[in-house]
Amino acid sequence: MIEELHFASPIYFENKPEWVEKIDKACDKHLKESLNSFSFQEEMEKRKKQYGEDFDKVKDFAWPNHSGMIAMDPEVEELRDYIVKNSHDILSKQGFDMSFFDMAISEFWVQEFPKGGYHDTHIHYNSHISGFYFLRCSDKTSKAVFHDPRPAAQMTKLPLKNNDVHSLGQDKIYVNAKPGTLVWFNSYLPHQFTVDSGVDDFRFIHFNLSAIPRQITTLEK
């Protein structure tokens, strides 16, 4: 019997700790700016009205601190360029003809979870490759979880022999990241972040890239 794997959804992992210290320090100012943003201050005002005297107990509970675009920060240049190159290579290796396409960053931001921070299951529309670069995390912090993107596969779900072993029968994958873990995946892949315990710091960069026809990028230059 010959086994062929079709319609696969690969996830790519690499350990790149050499950029963590420099980028983490650079992200401090971006996250500080985010805390002074209108959206954050507006949310805090809503919570003050809602919780009154109990505001200090809930304050920023479950409210992820999310920067704006940081791709042009010189301190992330090496990481950014590395991500762009490898994203192009990934799509090429997957069988797509990338001869006339360049990769363009559409989003590149840093996030930090407070206690209770999380993200529900979602995908990233209008991009081809997404990913994370973890700056602060531990076995006690929030985990990225990837889900099987095939809805029909859930209709006749069977029990697994071993939930801790990677197999074709799994419908979700938990990422055990450490500082410096770099992850790429196709943007259509559903993913989430579990509720953070607040015990240790949890900070990571999230990025999205799109394949743009080269004649368009050339005209823009």
Domain around 82: 11-150+168-220
Residue 62 maps to a domain:
yes
Residue 175 maps to a domain:
yes
Lowest mean pLDDT among 23-27, 49-53, 102-106, 213-217: 49-53
Using the Cα atoms of residue 187, residue 68, residue 29 and residue 50 in order, give the sign of their dihedral.
Answer: negative
Residue 163 maps to a domain:
no
Q: Which residues pair with 132 in a beta bridge?
A: 183, 206
Q: Which residue has the tokens 């029990």?
A: 159
pTM for this entry? 0.86
pLDDT digits (tens, 9 = 90+) for 126-141: 899 999 999 999 999 9
The answer to whether residues 187 and 106 touch, using CB atoms and an 8 Å cutoff, is no
Residue 162 maps to a domain:
no
pLDDT digits (tens, 9 = 90+) for 20-43: 999 999 999 998 887 665 566 666
Q: How far apart are CA 53 and CA 119, in angstroms?
A: 28
Q: How far apart are CA 186 and CA 208, in angstroms?
A: 10
